[in-house]
Each structure stands twice: as structure tokens, then as C-alpha cells.
Amino acid sequence: MKASAFTIATLLTVASQSTMAAELDVKITNLTKGLYFTPVLITAHDSEDKLFEVATEASSALQAMAEGGDISALVTQASASSSDIAENPAAGLLAPAASATAELTTTDGNEYLSVTAMLLPTNDGFVGLDSWKVPSEAGTYTVYLNGYDAGTEANNELVVEGSGAPGVLGIPAAPGADAGTAGTGITMGDTNTMVHIHPGSLGDDDLEGGNSDLNNTVHRWLNPVAKLTVTVK
């Protein structure tokens, strides 16, 4: 009986430790040559409250972020679910090779970390981390992040002013001022309407026409697109 009671007490202790609050320093680094990240959203949450999930349809909040860089609806969603939030640590765009750091205090039960930010210039691409389990042991951990496609807009690779609103086809901006114009479009349809790994941008070498407005020497990219360094204190 004593051994059984000890075992139960030990399990309860371990369970309580696994959901304890944590102090985190989270650093995100843009690994790409020519992509910019719109304001980054970092959340610590429970196992249910995800920012996104692969192989499912994007929520309207995710679509707003992935097509126009607007994280406000995702922040509202995360706040409503009592997630811990660090938003826009770069105070704007995160440029190629640049890093930004946020401090995040997690509350009991919020033991998963997620990250999102739109990739510019893309139609509906975003850098993402879905529900990474925060280690209980103090230390520094590194996670590499992929670029995802929200599946909500065709990747036509055309830069169209004002196209950041959900459902308006086009890339809203090319922050490096190195995109072309007058492209005819890579595609006008997307067969995969679920959140999926982004196929990358094709681009071309014709900045005054061609199929794409993207520059194939600047805007082509492969995964991973970011490095996350998490320090658990």
C-alpha cells in the first residue's frame, strides 16, 4: 500500500511539473536570401488551441495573416483561448538574415509553442511552427521552421497593390523593391486548398514581363526558412 501511495504521489508531482509556468527567450532568425517576414506572432498554448494545422483548411484568421500579414484576428483568437502571446518582436518586417527576440512567460498548461508570419513576396505563404512541446528542462533549444502555403490563394506570383485583403488575388508587396512588373501569372488556380508545405517560388529573369513578377535570383527559396532558438530558464 505504501509503495502504491508513493507511486501515485510521484506521478502527481511529475504531472504538475509538466504543466508548470516557464520563462522563455525566443529568437527567430530569417534564413532566406530575399524573403521578408511580416509581424511575427508567437504563442504558448495548450494542446487544443493551434494557430494552424497542416492538412486542414485555413481559418479566416490564418488566411488574413497568410495573404496580407494581418495577425490581429489570430491574436484575438489566441487571447480568447488564454494563450500567452508575444507579437511583432521585430517591430515591423523581419528582413533576410535578421533576427528578433521576444520574452515569453507561459502559464500553467500552456506547454506548446507556435509561430506564424507571412512570407513576402508570396501570395499566401507563411513561416510556421505548430505546437512544439516546450522542454521542461532549462537549456537552449534550436528548431528550424518551414514555409507553408495556406491553400487559400493561387500562387500567381504577381505583385498587385492592395491585394493583401483575403480573397483578392496577388502579392501585396515586395519589400526589397527587387520585383518585376507586367507578368502574366504562373497559375490562376490552386488544387491543394489545405494548409501544406509551400512549393516555393519560381520567378523568372524578365522584370518587365514573363510569367512571374518575382526575380528568380532573389526570391526563390527552399525550406527551412527560419531558425528558432528557445532558451528555457
At 55 the three-state DSSP class reads: coil
Per-residue confidence (pLDDT) for residue 188, from 0 to 100: 86
pTM for this entry: 0.91
At residue 17, φ and ψ (nearest 5 deg) are -65, -35
Is the predicted pLDDT of residue 5 greater than 60, yes or no?
Answer: no
Per-residue confidence (pLDDT) for residue 16, from 0 to 100: 43
Residue 53 DSSP class: -
At 64 the three-state DSSP class reads: helix
Own/partner pairs, 7-14, CB within 8 angstroms, 24+ separation: none
pLDDT in tens, 95-115: 999 999 999 999 999 999 999
Per-residue confidence (pLDDT) for residue 19, from 0 to 100: 54
Band (7; pLDDT cuts 50, 70, 90): low
Taking the mean position of all CA atoms in its chain, how far away is CA 126?
5
Per-residue confidence (pLDDT) for residue 191, from 0 to 100: 86
Point out the least confidently predicted range of 16-30, 67-81, 219-233. 16-30
The amino acid at residue 138 is A
At 142 the three-state DSSP class reads: strand
Helix (H), strand (E), coil (C) string for 79-94: HHCCCEEEECCCCCCE
Q: 108 burial class (0-12, 13-18, 19+ CB within 10 angstroms)?
A: exposed
pLDDT in tens, 154-178: 999 999 999 999 999 999 999 999 9
Band (33; pLDDT cuts 50, 70, 90): very high
Q: 134 burial class (0-12, 13-18, 19+ CB within 10 angstroms)?
A: middle
Decide which of 6 and 233 is more confident.
233
Angle between helix 72-80 and 60-68 (nearest 10): 150
| Rounded-to-integer distance, Cα 154 and Cα 163, Å | 12
pLDDT in tens, 195-227: 999 999 999 999 999 999 999 999 999 999 999
